């Protein structure tokens, strides 16, 4: 496979980078964008905008099936990196292509002092299961990392409570509300008997993806 020239004057990015000190704001921008989009030419990097190459701001419902799978895996990368796992290791653990991860994480993934880092929070939409006080077991579209984390903590608490029947730990979820992408509010089920009923109603227990961050 023949690689495209990086530009009219430079065969590849390495030649462009070594040709002269690249310290101007323009050069630093090209370097930053090349790190994200290594297959683009100099002209493409010069004219590109981050928002043109990101899916992180796209609504969940407009994504295709594969894009939804990629987003879920990319959110796992966020969670791992927030726990201190390097980007390369997070990619390896999830099996996500680097470019797909870059597209899905957008501005929430950035490079600082030579290392890839992620923001402490994000506003990426994702579908998650929830036990709603009024509707029972349903799926909702969450709109940020705070809600994903809260749902994850809730299910971890529910799991422990169903095992030992200690309902005291569920009190922290009383009155807590989550607003989904459509603006509808949801409250958690905290009644033990109702939780048992929801669990018994499941023909096959569903896999609950626990978000730690």
* Mean pLDDT computed over every residue of the chain: 89
Interatomic CA distance for residues 160 and 65, integer angstroms = 33
Interatomic CA distance for residues 134 and 151, integer angstroms = 16
**Domain extents for the chain?**
13-48, 60-118, 126-201
- The average pLDDT across 125-145 equals 96
Q: Is 34 exposed, middle or buried (0-12, 13-18, 19+ CB in 10 A)?
A: middle
Q: Is 21 exposed, middle or buried (0-12, 13-18, 19+ CB in 10 A)?
A: exposed
Interatomic CA distance for residues 22 and 28, integer angstroms = 7
Spell 108-140 as b/e; 16+ CB within 10 A means b.
bbeeeeeebebeeebebbbbbebbbbeeeeeeb
pLDDT confidence tier of residue 171, bands split at 50, 70 and 90? very high
pLDDT confidence tier of residue 114, bands split at 50, 70 and 90? confident
Q: Is the pLDDT of residue 109 over 90?
A: yes
Q: Is the pLDDT of residue 43 over 60?
A: yes
pLDDT in tens, 139-162: 999 999 999 999 999 999 999 999
CATH topology for 60-118? Arc Repressor Mutant, subunit A (1.10.10)
Q: Enter the DSSP assignment of 168.
A: G
Let me know: does 78 contact 213? Beta carbons within 8 Å.
yes
pLDDT at position 31 is 82
């Amino acid at each position: 496979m023949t690689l495209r020239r990086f530009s009219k004057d430079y065969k590849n990015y390495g030649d462009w980078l070594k040709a002269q000190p690249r310290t101007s704001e323009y050069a630093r921008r090209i370097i930053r964008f090349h790190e994200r989009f290594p297959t683009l030419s100099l002209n493409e990097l010069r004219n590109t905008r981050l928002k043109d190459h990101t899916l992180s701001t796209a609504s969940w419902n407009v994504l295709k099936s594969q894009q939804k799978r990629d987003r879920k895996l990319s959110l796992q990368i966020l969670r791992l990196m927030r726990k201190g796992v390097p980007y390369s290791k997070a990619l390896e653990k999830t099996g996500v292509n680097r470019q797909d991860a870059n597209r899905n994480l957008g501005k929430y993934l950035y490079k600082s002092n030579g290392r890839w880092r992620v923001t402490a929070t994000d506003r990426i939409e994702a579908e998650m299961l929830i036990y709603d006080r009024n509707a029972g077991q349903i799926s909702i579209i969450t709109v940020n990392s705070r809600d994903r984390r809260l749902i994850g903590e809730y299910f971890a608490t529910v799991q422990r409570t169903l095992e030992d029947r200690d309902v005291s730990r569920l009190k922290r979820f009383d009155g807590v509300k989550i607003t989904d992408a459509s603006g509808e509010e949801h409250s958690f089920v905290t009644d033990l008997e109702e939780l048992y009923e929801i669990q018994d109603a499941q023909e096959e227990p569903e896999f609950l993806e626990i978000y730690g961050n």
